[in-house]
């Protein structure tokens, strides 16, 4: 009886304990469910569940904005993502778009992990839920339209969003997958155009933002496209495209102008496509494109070899639809979208180690009968061996940066301002710590734009307090511009809008912002425009 009595007592205690613990268990279960649903958002294609961001707020990673551009969808206009059921976890980046390993191997990770199924985007929100609709900054990564991605810590884990903006980063098709033109592709297109699939991806991603970003706390009527290098080229190209009209309200460009290098015509781009098909031993016409669509992505890149990695290789073209006219003609005529623009360059960009004779030949090819005057600007007249500049480097470095970046960018700024648009121009003279001997090179602004400091790599360094100071300065200006179209606010040095005086801001090695009232690379870029403008205005 004692044993039975003890068993009954134990059973009674178990029942009583269960009733006592039940409310706590229910609370824990409800708390877990609430936590699980905290970051759930409904999009036009279905529910997504994000995660807490390491800097606060929330992050939604790897959201598909388009159907995978594979198989028969390779080299076609992207289609919106198919709807899904249930809740899709948005806690892992989508794959980088298929790409070759480029010179310098800076895209080694992206190239090794890239896939053709890659049309995904990421959303980072500074507070969750947002108290009010926030300005949206839509990032286009660089990489010569051949490499890179919108994923990773540099673009997504820094301090930019802490200034009160929603950040969207995207992947878009690259190289031969994003920019192959071919007569057969043009013929099968209902718009009789081919080659600008990467730009179409960007436009579809902007439509996704317009239709969905309010659910994440963003303002769909206050979107700023910003990009670096090829991302800057593409962002400023989009303001010449009727397909992108009204999808964004401001643009920021770091080291890239819409017409540098000049875009191929559709016929020129189609010829590159014919040459690529020949290199792949593909038959002519539709049969060739059908065969090429069946080649594995990695095999396609491998078989194309240097055609996929050369610069400028496969890139945007004046296809007649996405880009109806030469962007230089559009800007020169003041017929681009009437939106505020902020853009600029680094002092040395890529640099150049070519022998002086090759530099002299390059300037002569560009300037033709005006070559003697232009050569003199670089100390190369006669037997001159070039004039070094403490900020801009050797004559070879100066010419490379002027031709590809400084002068196209200042020209784009002047033309946009002449069309009565607000324009703000800058130059970054601040070298990444440890890279002072190289000066401020291409991509040097990225750590300061995103507030993320890599320890290694081509933009890695031993960042300190001065770098944090420059970050706060640059991010303050950029997010002010994203909010209002004007980078200025109390507490920041006044940044004058560009006008005929061509005043601009220098971000100095001392991490200050200083107004320069003389035009950026004034004599060199004025001469560049004298040579370029007649070419732009010359009708075929």
Say yes or no to pLDDT of 25 above 80: no
Largest CA distance in the chain: 118
Confidence at residue 73, expressed as pLDDT on a 0 to 100 scale: 98
- Mean of per-residue pLDDT scores for the chain: 92
> What are the φ and ψ backbone dihedral angles of 121, each rounded to 5 degrees?
-135, 165
Say yes or no to pLDDT of 314 above 80: yes
**Cα–Cα distance, 173 to 147 (Å, whole number):** 9
What's the total number of domains in the chain?
A: 1
Say yes or no to pLDDT of 32 above 90: no
Q: Is residue 18 part of a domain?
A: no
Of 416, 226, 243, residue with least CA distance to 319: 243
Confidence at residue 384, expressed as pLDDT on a 0 to 100 scale: 93
Q: How many CB atoms lie within 10 A of CB 202?
A: 29
**Cα–Cα distance, 396 to 403 (Å, whole number):** 11
Q: Residue 85's domain is classified under what CATH number? A: 3.40.50.1820
**Cα–Cα distance, 503 to 498 (Å, whole number):** 6
Percent of the chain clearing pLDDT 70 (strictly above) = 92
Helix (H, G, I), strand (E, B) or coil at 513: strand
Q: Is residue 30 part of a domain?
A: no
Of 53, 124, 65, residue with least CA distance to 97: 65
CA distances from 418 to 256, 412, 481, 529 (A): 19, 10, 20, 14
Q: Is residue 173 part of a domain?
A: yes
Q: Is residue 502 part of a domain?
A: yes
Confidence at residue 21, expressed as pLDDT on a 0 to 100 scale: 43
Question: Over the Cα atoms of the chain, what is R_g?
Answer: 26
Q: What is the pLDDT of residues 213-240, one digit of tens each?
A: 999 999 999 999 999 999 999 999 999 9
CA distances from 309 to 42, 354, 444 (A): 40, 20, 23
Range 105-118 burial, b when 16+ CB lie within 10 A, else e? ebbeebbeebbbbb
**Cα–Cα distance, 44 to 442 (Å, whole number):** 38
Q: What is the pLDDT of residues 262-282, one digit of tens each?
A: 999 999 999 999 999 999 999
Confidence at residue 532, expressed as pLDDT on a 0 to 100 scale: 86
Q: Is residue 35 part of a domain?
A: no
Q: How many CB atoms lie within 10 A of CB 390?
A: 6
**Cα–Cα distance, 432 to 461 (Å, whole number):** 6
Q: What is the pLDDT of residues 51-93, one digit of tens each?
A: 999 889 999 999 999 999 999 999 999 999 999 999 999 999 9
**Cα–Cα distance, 242 to 263 (Å, whole number):** 17
Q: Is residue 17 part of a domain?
A: no
The residue range of the domain holding 503 is 40-537
Task: Give the strand order in the sheet containing 120-125.
Answer: 51-52, 58-64, 120-125, 166-170, 134-140, 218-228, 250-254, 341-346, 423-428, 504-507, 513-516
């Amino acid at each position: 009886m004692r044993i039975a009595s003890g068993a009954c007592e134990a059973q009674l205690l178990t029942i009583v304990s269960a009733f006592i613990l039940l409310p706590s268990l229910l609370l824990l279960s409800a708390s877990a469910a609430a936590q699980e649903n905290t970051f759930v958002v409904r999009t036009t294609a279905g529910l997504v569940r994000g995660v807490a961001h390491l800097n606060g707020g929330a992050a939604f990673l790897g959201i598909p904005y388009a159907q995978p551009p594979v198989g028969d969808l390779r080299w076609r206009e992207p289609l919106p993502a198919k709807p899904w059921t249930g809740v899709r976890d948005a806690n892992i980046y989508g794959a980088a778009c298929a790409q070759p390993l480029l010179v310098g191997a800076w895209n080694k990770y992206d190239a090794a992990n890239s896939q053709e199924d890659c049309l995904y985007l990421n959303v980072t929100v500074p507070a969750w839920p947002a108290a009010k609709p926030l300005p949206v900054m839509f990032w286009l990564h660089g990489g010569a339209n051949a490499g890179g991605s919108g994923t990773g810590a540099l673009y997504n884990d820094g301090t930019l969003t802490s200034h009160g903006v929603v950040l969207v980063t995207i992947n878009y098709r690259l190289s031969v997958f994003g920019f192959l033109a071919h007569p057969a592709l043009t013929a099968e297109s209902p718009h009789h155009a081919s080659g600008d699939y990467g730009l179409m991806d960007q436009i579809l991603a902007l439509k996704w933002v317009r239709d969905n970003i309010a659910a994440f706390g963003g303002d769909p009527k206050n979107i700023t496209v910003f990009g670096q290098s090829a991302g800057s080229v593409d962002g400023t190209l989009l303001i010449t495209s009727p397909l992108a009209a009204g999808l964004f309200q401001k643009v920021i460009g770091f080291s890239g102008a819409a017409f540098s290098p000049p875009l191929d015509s559709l016929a020129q781009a189609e010829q590159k496509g014919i040459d690529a098909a020949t290199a792949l031993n593909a038959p002519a016409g539709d049969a060739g494109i059908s065969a090429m669509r069946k080649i594995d992505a990695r095999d396609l890149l491998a078989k194309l070899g240097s055609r996929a990695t050369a610069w400028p290789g496969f890139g945007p073209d004046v296809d007649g639809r996405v880009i109806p006219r030469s962007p230089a003609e559009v800007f020169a005529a003041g017929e681009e979208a009437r939106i505020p623009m902020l853009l600029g360059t680094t002092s040395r960009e890529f640099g150049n180690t070519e022998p002086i004779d090759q530099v002299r030949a390059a300037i002569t090819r560009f300037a033709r009968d005006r070559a003697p005057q232009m050569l003199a600007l670089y100390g190369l007249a006669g037997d001159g061996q070039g004039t070094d500049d403490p900020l801009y480097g050797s004559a070879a470095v100066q010419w490379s940066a002027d031709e590809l970046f400084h002068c196209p960018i200042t020209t784009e700024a002047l033309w946009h301002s002449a069309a009565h648009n607000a324009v703000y121009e800058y130059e970054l003279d601040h070298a990444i710590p440890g890279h002072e001997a190289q000066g401020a090179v291409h991509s040097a602004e990225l750590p300061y734009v995103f507030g993320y400091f890599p320890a290694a790599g081509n933009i890695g360094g031993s960042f300190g307090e001065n770098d944090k100071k420059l970050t706060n300065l640059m991010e303050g200006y950029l997010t002010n511009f994203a909010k209002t179209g004007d980078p200025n606010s109390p507490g920041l040095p006044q940044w004058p809008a560009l006008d005929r005086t061509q005043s601009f801001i220098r971000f100095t090695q001392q991490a200050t912002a200083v107004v320069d009232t003389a035009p950026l690379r004034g004599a060199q870029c004025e001469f560049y425009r004298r040579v370029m403008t007649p070419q732009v205005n010359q009708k075929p």
